[in-house]
Amino acid sequence: MALFEVQSLSFRYRRKYVIEDLSLTIEEGGVVALLGPNGSGKTTFLKLLLGLLKPARGAIRLQGRSLGDIPRRELARQMAYVPQVHREAFGYRVFDVVLMGRMPHSPLFGRYGEQDFRIVHEALEKMGISHLAELAYTEISGGERQLVLVARALAQQARIFVMDEPTNGLDYGNQVRLLERINGLAAAGYSFVFSTHHPDHAAAVARRVVMMREGKVICDGSPGESLTPRMLGLLYGLPSSMLSAGHELGAGLAALRGAQA
Amino acid sequence: MSDRALAVGEDTAQPTATSENAQADQATWTRRWFRTLAASLPMVACAVALPVVMIVSLGLGRYPITAREVFLFFVQKLFGVVHFTGDRMVLLNGILMEVRLPRILAAALIGAALSASGTAFQAIFVNPLVSPGLLGVLAGASLGAALGIVYLKTWFAVQIATFIGGLLAVGIAVGLAGVYRVKSTIMLVLGGIISGALFSSLLSLVKYLADPYNQLPTIVNWLMGSLTLSDRGQVLKVSIPIFIGLALLLLYSRHLNVLSMGEEEARALGINVQRVRLVVILCATVVSALTVVIAGAIGWVGLIIPHLTRMIAGPDNRKLMPATILVGASYLVIVDDISRLAFSFEIPIGIVTALVGIPCFALVLRNARKGWS
């Protein structure tokens, strides 16, 4: 059974349609990258997948069940949201931020137990950030914060990770580090849907690339099929001469793909 | 920074080092135990401080009674271990049980309520600058109380009017901040200031229209912010809804953590955001509005105590909420001591909290930016 079945989905803010008649099926396992220019509806689509927004028309099914019929807590046990890095929080300990991932698993007015703490330690270890556990969330770097949010998703014990521009604002080293972890987790059977502004990031981890423009899917296929100079030119409105083979970006993509193989 | 970068670089080597001997396990266990002890120390200190402050305060006053005597009095009263003679006991009973204890309990209750309310508001609006005072709750509650005194007869009705006034004020503050669709810290503060000003002027109107011989003095006396008039029956009646509100805020402290990360994240973590928000705002409003019933509008406590406690116990609401209740209670008992004893006459407690609170807040604001930005 398909993980996500999206049928003629539409969504609008006020009058303006952000997503229009979008249909898509996402299989379990693997990594799907959403690529598109600013304002193409990537973030809106991810929020619709998470059930954070209600579609104007159309339906989303998660493993055959309509998304609207699944209670929030149950949904949170299956699917985790890794938002863009933000700083608006209090300076909670990193450990306590990851502990929040245990919320959907613990009784409504209960407390976190020994098992929750163990799971949080495991999640921190898996992301290689155990040494950050006692630090304040606001005092670590952006890249580390992103890893903390992924660790929280792990602690949530969700199998599906929805990530909104996870590499945004990270330096090169942290980008590579994060993509590396995503690769590792995907190999362990987790499903990823993430949006990105970097075609090379899609190439590095995704098994499938969905290109969105003005709320519609214009291309959907393996990185090899979709990340061509012609399609990228179409997606971002660039003349293909700027993206021709031998160009810096093309070379970068080839190198990444070579490294992956 | 460079240390941390190194640590990140080294973590790839960690998995091979997992098969260390039990000695290392022992060491981590001891370290964790010490860490737990160190982490619970602030909480223990807060919990011990409150009874100590209350017992010492019982001894303070025009008629001096030592802390030892207070202690022995309660031992005799509760366990029947006779120490004082009959006359002395009657005298102590009069001073401690009839005069000082109700007042100290009222101060502790109000301090706890205002502080918990401030903590809850700050977490739910993810805004370090809000408090029951700044959101207009106290002004709204004062108007409600004044209207209640003029037009309603029963105690219960006055309490309800106070609560409705407080709730209206929060509603207007949040509504004004929302109109401009800017989610900024300052907009909500401005909304609160406008809402507070509106209710203050409405209160002036009620005062102006009130009967100057009976109603006006009662309103003015009541709202001045004084604990002089607090009698036991009244404190007892108000304490029940306040305790319920505090209990709910404590139950929801875990949710407050998650909610302060942002609405969408909280929902993605399985939280019913609308319900939690409604319950928390209602509780924080009830709890702080009802303090107006006992002693009028006491400002600044709900703003500075959460910040002060955050410096002691950290930002985690699971610890912060109980700690802030204890610290707030102790703080207001101490401030009440000052208002009783600093001068040869008593000054309204609201004046003292402002005088103590404003410089405190100026200091706190400097440190608070660290945990917030």
ipTM of the complex: 0.89
CA-based nearest residue in chain B for residue A86 = B261
Rounded to the nearest integer, the mean pLDDT of chain B is 85
Looking only at the bridges linking them, the beta strands covering A191-196 and A160-164 are parallel
Which of A90, A97, A132 to mutate to test binding with chain B, by most B CBs within 10 Å of its CB?
A: A90
CA-based nearest residue in chain B for residue A75 = B270
Return residues 185-244 of A near B (CB < 8 Å): none
Contact B315 A91 (CB under 8 A): yes
Domains for chain B: give ranges and CATH numbers. 110-372 (1.10.3470.10)
Q: What is the mean pLDDT of residues B297-306?
A: 91
Residue linked to tokens 């990185």: A223
Nearest to B271 among A89, A92, A103 (CB): A103
CATH of the domain at A61: 3.40.50.300
**Residue A81 contacts B, CB cutoff 8 Å:** yes
Residue B6's pLDDT is 38
CA-based nearest residue in chain B for residue A109 = B251
Residue A230's pLDDT is 83
Contacts of A52 in chain B (CB under 8 A): 264, 267-268
Query: Could you give the CA distance from residue A96 to residue B313 in angstroms, rounded to a whole number?
Result: 14
Residue B211's pLDDT is 86
Whole-structure pTM value: 0.86
Place B1 in a pLDDT band, splitting at 50, 70 and 90. very low
Rounded to the nearest integer, the mean pLDDT of chain A is 87
**A–B: how many Cβ contacts below 8 A?**
88
Show Cβ contacts of residue B12 under 8 Å, excluding neighbours closer than 6 positions. Answer: A128
CA-based nearest residue in chain A for residue B264 = A52
Contacts of A144 in chain B (CB under 8 A): 4, 8
Which of B124, B188, B254 to mutate to test binding with chain A, by most A CBs within 10 Å of its CB?
A: B254
DSSP line for A18-75: EEEEEEEEE-SSEEEEEE--TTSSHHHHHHHHTTSS--SEEEEEETTEEGGGS-HHHH
Residue B9's pLDDT is 38
Tokens of B64: 């001096």
Contact B370 A80 (CB under 8 A): no
Residue A9, beta-bridge partner list: A22
Residue A259's pLDDT is 52
pLDDT tens readout for residues B239-272: 999 999 999 999 999 999 999 888 889 999 999 9
Q: How far is A87 from chain B (nearest CA, A)?
A: 7
Residue B357's pLDDT is 85
**Residue A141 contacts B, CB cutoff 8 Å:** yes
Residue B7's pLDDT is 40
**Residue B265 contacts A, CB cutoff 8 Å:** yes
Say yes or no to pLDDT of B283 above 90: yes
Distances (CA, A) of A146 to A166, A169, B11, B133, B354: 7, 10, 17, 37, 42
Place A224 in a pLDDT band, splitting at 50, 70 and 90. confident
Q: What is the mean pLDDT of residues B309-326?
A: 93
Residue B324's pLDDT is 97
Q: What is the mean pLDDT of residues B339-344?
A: 87
From B134, B145, B128, B137, select the one nearest B169 (Cα to Cα). Answer: B137
Which of B1, B121, B265 to mutate to test binding with chain A, by most A CBs within 10 Å of its CB?
A: B265
Say yes or no to pLDDT of B52 above 70: yes
For residue A182, the enclosing domain spans: 4-260
pLDDT tens readout for residues B76-97: 989 888 888 889 999 999 999 8
- Higher per-residue confidence, B368 vs B209: B209
**Residue A86 contacts B, CB cutoff 8 Å:** yes
Contact A87 B314 (CB under 8 A): no
Residue A16's pLDDT is 86
Tokens of B371: 């945990």
Residue B243's pLDDT is 97
Cβ atoms < 10 Å from Cβ of B131: 31
Contacts of A129 in chain B (CB under 8 A): 11
From A43, A136, A32, A37, select the one nearest A81 (Cα to Cα). Answer: A43
Contact B265 A81 (CB under 8 A): yes
**Residue B8 contacts A, CB cutoff 8 Å:** yes
**Residue B217 contacts A, CB cutoff 8 Å:** no
Contact A156 B269 (CB under 8 A): yes
Say yes or no to pLDDT of A251 above 70: no
- Higher per-residue confidence, B22 vs B27: B27
Residue % of chain B over a pLDDT of 70: 88
Residue B360's pLDDT is 82
Q: What is the mean pLDDT of residues A161-170?
A: 90
Show Cβ contacts of residue A134 under 8 Å, excluding neighbours closer than 6 positions. Answer: A93, A94, A95, B35
Contact A89 B126 (CB under 8 A): yes
Tokens of B342: 């600093």
Q: How far is A107 from chain B (nearest CA, A)?
A: 11
* Number of structural domains in chain A: 1
**Core vs surface per residue A167-183: b (16+ CB within 10 A) or e:** bbebeeebbebbbebbe
From B178, B173, B217, select the one nearest B197 (Cα to Cα). Answer: B173
